[in-house]
Amino acid sequence: MINAVGRELPEKIGSYVVKPFLGTGLAKDDYGPVVSNRRPTLKPASGTKLVATLEDAIKASGLQDGMTISFHHCFREGDKIIGQVLTAIRNLGIKNLRFAPSAVVNVKNPSVVEFVKDGTISRIEASGIRGELGDAVINGDIELDEPVILRPHGARPRAIESGDLKIDVAFLGASAADEYGNATGQVGPNACGSMGYAFVDALNAAKVVIVTDNLVDYPCCPISISQQYVDFVVKVDEIGDPAKIGAGAARMTKNPRDLMIAQYTANAIAASRRFKDGFSFQTGAGAIPIAITNFLAEKMEEREIKASFALGGIPAAIIDMYEKGLVRVVACSQSFDAVAAKAIAANPGVIEIDNAVYSNIYAKGCMLDRLNFGVLGALEIDTDFNINILTGSSGEMMGGLGGGPDVADGADISVVTLPLVRGRTPSVVPKVFTLCTPGSSVAMVVTEAGIALNPAHKRYEELKEDLAAAGIKTVTIEYLCELARSIVGTPKPIETTDRVVAVVEYRDGTVIDVIRHLKR
Amino acid sequence: MINAVGRELPEKIGSYVVKPFLGTGLAKDDYGPVVSNRRPTLKPASGTKLVATLEDAIKASGLQDGMTISFHHCFREGDKIIGQVLTAIRNLGIKNLRFAPSAVVNVKNPSVVEFVKDGTISRIEASGIRGELGDAVINGDIELDEPVILRPHGARPRAIESGDLKIDVAFLGASAADEYGNATGQVGPNACGSMGYAFVDALNAAKVVIVTDNLVDYPCCPISISQQYVDFVVKVDEIGDPAKIGAGAARMTKNPRDLMIAQYTANAIAASRRFKDGFSFQTGAGAIPIAITNFLAEKMEEREIKASFALGGIPAAIIDMYEKGLVRVVACSQSFDAVAAKAIAANPGVIEIDNAVYSNIYAKGCMLDRLNFGVLGALEIDTDFNINILTGSSGEMMGGLGGGPDVADGADISVVTLPLVRGRTPSVVPKVFTLCTPGSSVAMVVTEAGIALNPAHKRYEELKEDLAAAGIKTVTIEYLCELARSIVGTPKPIETTDRVVAVVEYRDGTVIDVIRHLKR
């Protein structure tokens, strides 16, 4: 069958029944009351939930072959929890698990691939499987009976609360926790800041294990994850590498191309009628977003306007705006650096939010639906404004879905920023290799070679008018595509077999694309 | 049948099937995964959840005859929400509702009784129905087909999460809220402080309506109840009477009898080996508890010790201790006055907690299970240390169950404080009229005539030793009972019919006693 964005999909992959993507705004309230898998239990007879080792916690949790385990990815590339837990599970001989973290970051030593190869893991569901694991899946180095399910941040809470993804045991890392399970990422030597991706797991997993390297006196304060959701607590030597969890504030980029893209983006945003006192935005992390944030801050100071809120994964640049009085509330679903991680405990207006309220389409209205401006990165964009944020120029797994598809859909004005070409690879193409975010939800794309508005976007007329009034010239997406081609030529098409190895879900749980084995 | 505390119970009352109380510590994990009734919905097409009137919200919520509605009681005697909502429901002609607030406080103009009489309400479940409503039920002024179910604070989350109490529409008052449903009780002219009793409703009701008189810019900050759980927001003129919601800090009592009881209690607590650095306590509100709190603060300063946490309903006296550095964390399930209400937003160690984590026996371990000392009030205590906190000397409904039964069970040492006699009524009696808290969970009782230890309590030997070491003399409960009788004589027994009008549940959902019609 063919879905609403023209992708050909099988009806079933393994046991996964494909519901084709029907278009944005067509999501229906198609399941009944929220289904929690949480198992209420009585207080521990011992008076403590502390167990000596990860093996003890795993045994006590009742984890068995074929069950589902989850993790959050708030420690990012610095995570040392997933490796330790999977090793302990392997030591206990438990097999065929469904591995369902909020995202798989590129952790090594050990890599998740090893645990797939030895049969500990036989199914994978996450927002991304960037790096070694993704490459192994897409290259056929590992073979799974079921497709990997890739879900954007907003689709994971939906999957969990609808019962599609029932978690048996969640292993949640925390940089501070007490023996009764109250836990946070806001304090401690390995602070990650917001534990936004852990809440839906804590509320809905049958059993919850807190893994910390920093056991504090009862009660832990602040409390992000409440003891009422926690069964066991384990202290390990180290939950992460602080340098990789939260590096210092990113400096402003000096790359002229990135600065140009950022300046164009800030100019376009500032030209919008929605850029006024009380507006809201999400810019994200990375060189271009940080520069955009800084440029926007300058424009806000010039115009003497203040934002009502900044949202999402938060870097130091946004905390800086808060401290300057340019943003009233900073709602952090994730903290991208050490400055942002520490800012939550220190500032009443910098708040930790649950990923479900950040992005879940079925959450009675999530926060990103209230965004005026959402800035998105991309690996590729095509002439229909469809975005690829997963696969690179050779089809390799380069990114995760993250919240991009959600933000594009929720924000009044979604802006994709990317360089026209990367090395010998065009970024603006006739057709994206993997379709992650439907073009209809993308308002404009900004490159160093110009800004293109999407005529199919609901705010097209408004944006066109506002940009014209500000004297900002635009180009067509076809122009950008042709320009990219003229610079680097047409890349050799990526060849795949028919075997589907991953499905790309949209935020409503429908399938927007699939990923096939690469031909070798 | 006869339950474990010797009370005779019918097997069934209306459609309510009686599970007899089997004794403390016997609660079993007797239900499966948590059952939420929450209905995920999509963001409102209008972009706002604000509706013009309560009637509009009720209509939009889909409320129909026979459904269940809930409220929290954090505005206490100052509540103006229940009356307005019930009036709106009556105006819409919706009948036979199950009325299931966390507690019914004695609100008048209109009183809840009117809505029972006119058929708007036909079933009642709450922690207490003090005042006009309770009297009408117990006197037979109103007749209900089903018994009123009285649950202590810890039993209500259990009832909701087990599916025993499925809430269709929760009407949650908030002193500040934005148009998308983020709400708090911490700020605004009618601040109530902690909204502890609202969380379980917000998480589990099919539909949630926020009622506020203080609409703030999006996003409301702080956020107690998150927009992800809220369907509609209504602004009314006034949600409450500030003087009754949160009066100023209670002054220290000058009543010599109350001061004597408080001093004895503080002395006994200070004599315990558990009164040491890092201890925890709950003292509550009222003249005697406030005096106890102040006396304990003095003793802590003398001994240079600091408590790890204070818990429960919090008055200004505890905030005062926090400010003096005598308590590290103040965990507020409720705020008892204006000082305590404002303290949450102002102090990082004064935190709002969900009533479920405060008291729910099925919450994987609640906070009151970690208490060293819990101070309880009572209307009567008997020679088996059983406590009555519901009915007065003529059998009238005088109190609510509150968290007393929970605290007694959870705390290492539970202390009941009460005067030996009140007017012509003895407080220490051979047998309590209504049994709310089993004597086996009560460690000691303190009156102005002496302290009696409960030989059946698990900490009896320890307490006896500690009090003796401190030179504190004790008496027997029989001595206190006889002394009370010698002062005021033996009251005429309260006569009842056989008709059961209310059941008193214990924290595990079993029935510890029933309340029968009074003979007139």
Burial tier of B345 (Cβ tally within 10 Å: 0-12, 13-18, 19+): middle
B308 chain-A contacts, CB cut-off 8 A = 217-219
Which pTM was predicted?
Answer: 0.97
Q: What pLDDT was estimated at residue B29?
A: 58
The partner residue sitting opposite A308, judged by closest CB among B219, B356, B362, is: B219
* DSSP string of A470-518, one letter each residue: TT---B-HHHHHHHHHHHH-PPPPPPEEEEEEEEEE-TTS-EEEEEEEE
The partner residue sitting opposite A308, judged by closest CB among B33, B39, B217, is: B217
CB contact under 8 A, B351 and A217: no
Of A142, A157, A86, A145, nearest in space to A115 by CA: A86
- Domain extents in chain B: 33-244, 256-494
Alpha-carbon distance of A416 to A158, in angstroms, equals: 25
Its CATH architecture, for the domain B33-244, is 3-Layer(aba) Sandwich (3.40)
Q: What pLDDT was estimated at residue A26?
A: 66
The partner residue sitting opposite B357, judged by closest CB among A226, A351, A366, is: A226
Helix, strand, coil fractions of chain B, as percent rounded to 5 = 30, 25, 45
The partner residue sitting opposite A228, judged by closest CB among B181, B308, B357, is: B357
- What residue of B is the nearest CA neighbor of A207? B364
The rounded mean pLDDT for chain B is 95
Q: What is the mean pLDDT of residues B495-503?
A: 96
- What residue of B is the nearest CA neighbor of A209? B364
A41 chain-B contacts, CB cut-off 8 A = 29, 362, 364
Higher pLDDT, A401 or B361: A401
pLDDT in tens, A132-150: 899 999 998 999 999 999 9
pLDDT in tens, B48-60: 999 999 999 999 9
Q: What pLDDT was estimated at residue B28?
A: 65
Q: What pLDDT was estimated at residue A54?
A: 98
Cβ-Cβ pairs closer than 8 A, A with B, add up to 171
Minimal C-alpha gap between B458 and chain A (Å): 15
Report which secondary-structure segment, H or E, holds A176: strand A176-177
ipTM score: 0.96
Q: Is the pLDDT of residue B376 over 80?
A: yes
pLDDT in tens, A11-70: 999 999 999 999 987 666 556 789 899 988 878 878 899 999 999 999 999 999 999 999
A38 chain-B contacts, CB cut-off 8 A = 33-34
pLDDT in tens, A146-184: 999 999 999 999 999 999 999 999 999 999 999 999 999
Q: What pLDDT was estimated at residue B91?
A: 97
A354 chain-B contacts, CB cut-off 8 A = 226, 228
A200 chain-B contacts, CB cut-off 8 A = none
pLDDT in tens, A220-270: 999 999 999 999 999 999 999 878 877 667 778 999 999 999 999 999 999
Largest CA distance in chain A: 71
Report the percentage of chain B scoring pLDDT > 70.
98
| Residue in A355, A360, A364, A409 to test binding to B, most B beta-carbons within 10 Å | A364
The partner residue sitting opposite A351, judged by closest CB among B223, B227, B351, is: B223
Alpha-carbon distance of A472 to A460, in angstroms, equals: 14
Q: Is the pLDDT of residue B136 over 80?
A: yes
Domain A256-494, CATH: 3.40.1080.10
CB contact under 8 A, A354 and B228: yes
- What residue of B is the nearest CA neighbor of A157? B40
A36 chain-B contacts, CB cut-off 8 A = 33-36
Cβ neighbours around B141 below 10 Å, total: 13
* DSSP string of A186-240, one letter each residue: SSSTT--S--GGGHHHHHH-SEEEEEES-B-SSSPSS-SB-GGG--EEEE-S-SB
Q: What pLDDT was estimated at residue B101?
A: 97
Q: Is the pLDDT of residue B302 over 80?
A: yes
Q: What pLDDT was estimated at residue B26?
A: 66
A351 chain-B contacts, CB cut-off 8 A = 221-223
